[in-house]
Chains A and B, each alone.
Chain A
Amino acid sequence: EPEVTQTPSHQVTQMGQEVILRCVPISNHLYFYWYRQILGQKVEFLVSFYNNEISEKSEIFDDQFSVERPDGSNFTLKIRSTKLEDSAMYFCASIGGVPNYGYTFGSGTRLTVV
């Protein structure tokens, strides 16, 4: 079964450093997402990306965050200057075109900011 692949699985970074989280969505999918889950809490929407541009972002997704689809396969989330409160699991997800409603999530990247 097709998978969404995320790397790295775990990243530790110092506060103020830039990090790039990488995702390879399912190849024929059209909508791409990043979600965040702080330890012990619910999964929260960060940003959606369609047709090579951001289609919606949450209030969490401030100027420190950016996303990019640099080629036909990768989808990245960059945090420019990490803060302690950015520590969380970050999940990439993709869906195909309608009527494929079933999101496929990656296994996540655990980001630890120290």
Chain B
Amino acid sequence: GQQLNQSPQSMFIQEGEDVSMNCTSSSIFNTWLWYKQEPGEGPVLLIALYKAGELTSNGRLTAQFGITRKDSFLNISASIPSDVGIYFCAGRGSGGSNYKLTFGKGTLLTVNP
């Protein structure tokens, strides 16, 4: 099946630092999504990317859909303690794949105040 390689696995940073994480795939996806998950909760959508090359921001978060449609990155600027959580990338195929999501293994972000 399709696999997403997400890196890094974990990050421990100081408050105020910028963060970058990325996902790569051997397969093409039509949509890239970035989610954040906090303990005991379901994934919450942060940013959705629909077109190759698209760069989208949501507050301090910026994500890009790679030109090859096989990769995406997420940047968080000026991190704050509430950014702590696990960040997952997810790729979605076409309607023919029933829009199912393939998730990366997640990046655990810890922010030291």
Which residues from chain A sit less than 8 Å from chain B, CB to CB? 4, 31, 33, 35, 41-45, 48, 50, 55-56, 58, 91, 93, 95, 98, 101-108, 110
Q: Which of B40, B45, B98, B106 contacts A103 (CB 8 A)?
A: B45
Q: Which residues of A contact B31 (CB under 8 A)?
A: 101
Q: Are B43 and A43 in touch, CB under 8 angstroms?
A: yes
Given contacts A41-B105, A48-B100, A56-B100, contact A108 B41 (CB under 8 A): yes
Q: Which residue of B lies closest to A58 (CB)?
A: B1
Closest chain-B Cβ to A94's Cβ sits at a distance in Å of: 11
Q: Are B105 and A105 in touch, CB under 8 angstroms?
A: no
Q: Are B103 and A42 in touch, CB under 8 angstroms?
A: yes
Interface residues of chain A: helix, strand, loop or mixed (majority): strand
Q: Which residues of B contact A31 (CB under 8 A)?
A: 98-99
A58 to B103: give the CA distance in the assembly, Å. 14
Q: Which residues of A contact B50 (CB under 8 A)?
A: 101
Which residues from chain B sit less than 8 Å from chain A, CB to CB? 1, 31, 33, 35, 40-45, 48, 50, 88, 90, 92, 95, 97-106
Q: Are B41 and A107 in touch, CB under 8 angstroms?
A: yes
Q: Which residues of B contact A103 (CB under 8 A)?
A: 33, 45, 101
A110 to B41: give the CA distance in the assembly, Å. 10
Q: Are A102 and B48 in touch, CB under 8 angstroms?
A: yes
Q: Which residues of A contact B98 (CB under 8 A)?
A: 31, 48, 50, 55-56
Q: Are B100 and A106 in touch, CB under 8 angstroms?
A: no
Closest chain-B Cβ to A1's Cβ sits at a distance in Å of: 11
A43 to B92: give the CA distance in the assembly, Å. 13
Closest chain-B Cβ to A72's Cβ sits at a distance in Å of: 21
Q: Which residue, of B44, B90, B102, B103, has the highest number of chain A Cβ atoms within 10 A? A: B103
Closest chain-B Cβ to A56's Cβ sits at a distance in Å of: 5
